[in-house]
Structure 1
Amino acid sequence: MDKKWEYNGFGIPDDYFVRGKAPMTKEEVRAVVLGKLRLKEDHIFVDVGAGTGSVSIEAALKLSKGKVYAIEYKEEALNLLAVNGKAFGVENLEILKGRAEEELKKITYFDRVFVGGSGGEIHWIIDYALEHLSEEGRIVVTAVTLETLTEAFKALKTKEFKDVEVVSVSVSKGRSTGNYTLMEAQNNIYVLSATKR
């Protein structure tokens, strides 16, 4: 079934995507991530650890003259990525099957990179991004654990990135229970962003 999203803002509702058990950047966090990326319509964008493809697809819809590379190695996520990409009709999305350290080497120049899952390769990914991002290129990293947050933050601060920022995003959503609405907290997400010097 085709999906149409005709709005300019970020944060396509989660239920527009086929989910399965693969990780997905939820709509409220996705809106923050895409805002921090500062996309232009002709950018080349890389999504590392693309999961269901929610960030890749939203970016592809914005990059009318650009290109999106979605890197993922887990089979279920790859299938969901393909299904979601087809459902939204994005033609500027290329799916790369494999680990970041293998697949990123196929892309020698890009303007923006998002790391939603690093598979333990965060230092290598940040080093590669620093070397291959365009001038004033942007990197955004999400972390759910303090260890990933610490590693990524330290790497961005000690390398040639500027305007290093970390934002903690806490989202609670209302859930109906009878005549009442309970607020259910989702996992806290750290969003790191920086610009290449």
Structure 2
Amino acid sequence: MKWKFKTPGIPDELFIRGKVPMTKEEVRAVTISKLRLKQDDIMVDIGAGTGSISIEAAHICTNGEVIAIERNEEGIMLIKQNSEKFEVPIKILHGNGVEKLNEIEQFDRVMIGGSGGELKKIIQICHKKLTEEGICVINCITVETLYESIQYLKETGFDHIDVVSMNIARGKAVGRYTMMEGLNPIYVISGKKSA
């Protein structure tokens, strides 16, 4: 199934899902916009989950490469299934974020959706391996990770740090009425590698 649109935000229900967390479509749309992807970019998705961000990125980076890093077995299976379903190539690396990042020579963009408790080290490696003016985007749900993300990005040498707090509610039919149902709030943090 090809995603025939040029805009991000593939409906959640189109993805094959399991028990692995998945970034919701509205959050994906903002995350992709903050990544500022180009056709020939190499983009790394750390803690890729079901691969939803990777799938969205692969629709843009058609002359580049999208690399998904995931340590969960079920996640690896779901990324494969979703990449086949949406007919986009994704290089899948199974394992720990720090370890797998060290196997990649260089990249233009990176999305951190999960760090396995190694956020600082991951950000440091990303800064070293990102191309000049490369962009790092971090999605998190806790205020502690928000604080740490900002601190580590600054300490490592990222600038143009941007923080977005997203509180999304979706309409849900209740009889003949529509009730707004809130999703969990999420923070989208981005920074650019200094020239």
TM-score range, shorter chain: over 0.9
Is residue 2:140 matched to residue 1:140?
no
Q: Which residue does 2:179 correspond to in 1?
A: 182
User: How large is the Cα RMSD of the aligned pairs?
Assistant: 0.7
Corresponding residue to 2:101 among 100, 104, 115: 104
Corresponding residue to 2:70 among 69, 72, 78: 72
How many residue pairs get matched? Answer: 194
Cα distance in structure 2, aligned partners of 1:159 and 1:60: 28
Deviation at 1:152, TM superposition (A): 0.8
- SS in structure 2 opposite 1:62? coil
Cα distance in structure 2, aligned partners of 1:145 and 1:61: 29
| Per-residue deviation, residues 133-181 of structure 1 (Å, max 9, x unmatched) | 0000000001101111111111112221110011101100011111111
Is residue 2:147 matched to residue 1:150?
yes
In structure 2, what residue type is equivalent to 1:83? Q
Q: Which residue does 2:159 correspond to in 1?
A: 162
- SS in structure 2 opposite 1:151? helix
Is residue 2:13 matched to residue 1:12?
no
What pairs with 1:48-67 in structure 2 (closer than 5 Å)?
48-67=46-65
Q: Which residue does 1:28 correspond to in 2?
A: 26
In structure 2, what residue type is equivalent to 1:58? E
Cα distance in structure 2, aligned partners of 1:127 and 1:109: 13
- SS in structure 1 opposite 2:54? helix
Q: Which residue does 2:37 correspond to in 1?
A: 39
Deviation at 1:19, TM superposition (A): 1.1
- SS in structure 1 opposite 2:37? coil
**TM-score of the superposed pair, with normalisation by structure 1:** 0.97
Runs of 4+ in 1 over 6 A off after TM superposition: none
In structure 2, what residue type is equivalent to 1:142? N
Q: Which residue does 1:131 correspond to in 2?
A: 128
Mark the runs of 5 or more structure 2 residues left unpaired by the alignment: none
Q: How many percent of aligned residue pairs carry the same amino acid?
A: 50
**TM-score of the superposed pair, with normalisation by structure 2:** 0.98
Q: Which residue does 2:83 correspond to in 1?
A: 85
